[in-house]
Amino acid sequence: MTTSPHSNNSINHNNNHISHTNSITHNNSLSHGNTQTEGVAQQRVQRRASAPAVTSTFRPAPSQWSVEEVTAFINTLPGCGDVAEAFRVQEIDGQALLLLTEDHLMTSMNIKLGPALKICAHINSLKNQ
pTM strictly above 0.75:
no
Q: What percent of the chain is modeled with pLDDT above 70?
A: 55
33-65 in b/e form (b: 16+ CB < 10 A) is eeeeebeebbeebeeebeeeeeeeeeeeebeeb
pLDDT at position 66 is: 97
Cis-peptide into 5, omega within 30 deg: no
- Give the total residue count for the chain: 129
Which CATH superfamily groups domain 62-127? Transcription Factor, Ets-1 (1.10.150.50)
- The DSSP call for residue 19 is E
**More confident of the two residues 88 and 53:** 88
| Spatial separation of the C-alpha atoms in residues 85 and 127, rounded to whole Å | 22
